[in-house]
A = this chain, B = another copy of it.
Amino acid sequence: MLNFEINNPTHIIFGKDQLDKLPAYISKFYPGKKILLAYGGGSIEKTGLLERVKAQLNDFELVLFPGIEANPQFTTLMKAAELIRRENIGFILAVGGGSVIDGVKFISGAVNYQGDPWDVLLRKPGCVFGDALPFGTILTIPATGSEANSGAVISRSEIHEKRTMGGPQFFPKFSFLDPTVVATLPKRQVANGIVDAYMHTLEQYLTFPTDNLLQERQAEAILSTLIEIAPAVYENPANYTAAANLMWCAIHALNGNLRCGVPTDWATHMIGHELTAFFGIDHARTLAIIAPRLYEALFDKKKEKLVQYGKRVWQLSGDETAIAQEAIAKTEAFFQSLGMETRISAYTDEFAGIERKIRQRFEERSWKLGEHKDLGYDEVERIVKAAI
């Protein structure tokens, strides 16, 4: 077990009909009254959630900031930071999914940053966010786990960039998780959420066998639960039990616990981010496209863990090579069972040369990824090409 540190201070309020606790939680972390209410498009207006949130906040002065996009955009978020400074706001309430919450994390750091916050995302030397404005979340899409971690992914579509950020100051102070919100989601987003949580888990698990016995079983617990509940919640997002389990799995897939003491991969995510940056493909779908091809390309390095995964999660038995191959096939079939295409060409006709473009991005940034930090540029090119 590698040395590690973990601290996750986010307070989770989970279940139905708990929004009446919202004012008390805000007041616990913010003595003032002026709040930025940040959200995405019209979905929380349509479902009535926005009105229900507002109804709880009569004692506060709300400044609305709608319009945070999927793959939240730097330029949009900078407008929110400017608004906060102008209006002297002291707390942000994010109502939305991972994109809104990620966006709010960026805003909370950018507000008081002296200089261009994009430099922080470029990891320019000496450029780091200091204190963040406190914020809480009301989750509307179980998927990214952003509601209970300190990371974010920010996009700048005009230059095809998607960058990560994070730090201990970016944990939400609190997050409200009500599984009934899942009933209002389109199937596409339910599927995205399942695959996102599944792949967050695999990135921290499907490496090589380690002596982290509990962490590996905790990962297998999430994978097995997602497989068990996926058909029910995809078929009927109003299934409360299935939705609640999905929501709780999504948190545990990326709340920091699975990575304790373990080697992690994340190459599927980094390649996938490029597919979103170039083509706007949904994040979860980029993972479903890349993961099976990456596991095939790195079959020998990952074979032992693929066998463990196949046996424990998919209940496979027999020849080990066959188990490892079947585990990849089962994974891809699982994604497809959720209506998800697993080839780039199913999403865009503009795929010519994408394998070289992504290779070039990795080369420019000197990225060496994977659990051995040895994923070569040739391999990246080969994986993307195989995924077309």
- Which residues in A have some Cβ–Cβ distance to B below 8 Å? 1-18, 179, 211-215, 217-218, 220-222, 224-225, 228-229, 240-241, 244-245, 248-249, 252, 260-261
Contact = CB atoms under 8 A, between A and B. Distances in A.
The 3 closest A-B pairs by CB, nearest first: A3-B15, A217-B221, A7-B11
A8 B5 contact: no
B217 A248 contact: no
A213 B245 contact: yes
A13 B8 contact: no
B9 A14 contact: no
A252 B7 CA distance: 14
Contact of A14 (B4, B218, B252): B4
Contact of A2 (B4, B15, B228, B252): B15
A6 B1 contact: no
A252 B8 contact: no
Nearest to A214: B225
In this complex, the member of A18, A214, A240, A245 whose beta carbon has the largest number of chain B beta carbons within 10 angstroms is A214
Nearest to A174: B7
A248 B1 contact: yes
A363 to B, nearest CB: 35
Contact of A5 (B12, B221, B224): B12
Contacts of A12: 4-7
Given A18-B3, A241-B1, A225 B221 contact: no
In this complex, the member of A1, A2, A13, A229 whose beta carbon has the largest number of chain B beta carbons within 10 angstroms is A1
Contacts of A211: 241, 244-245
Contact of A245 (B15, B214, B244): B214
A249 B214 CA distance: 7
Contacts of A244: 1, 211, 261
